[in-house]
Amino acid sequence: MSALDALLGIDPNEPLDALAGRLVDSDHQLVESLRARRISIGLSVLEVAARMGISEADARTIETRGGDLAGLRRYALSVGVHVEHVVTVVIEEPHEGDVEP
The per-residue pLDDT string of the chain (101 residues; one tens digit each, 9 = 90 and over) reads 677 666 667 777 777 878 888 888 999 999 999 999 999 999 999 999 999 999 999 999 999 999 899 999 999 999 999 999 889 888 877 665 555 55
| Whole-number pLDDT of residue 80 | 98
Q: What is the largest CA-CA distance in the chain?
A: 48
pTM of the complete model = 0.79
Q: Assign a CATH topology to domain 3-78.
A: 434 Repressor (Amino-terminal Domain) (1.10.260)
| Whole-number pLDDT of residue 22 | 87
CA–CA dist 62, 41 (Å, integer)? 18
| Whole-number pLDDT of residue 84 | 93
DSSP per position, 23-62: HHHHHHHHHHHHHHHHHHTT--HHHHHHHHTS-HHHHHHH
C-alpha triplet 48, 23, 85: angle, nearest 5° = 60
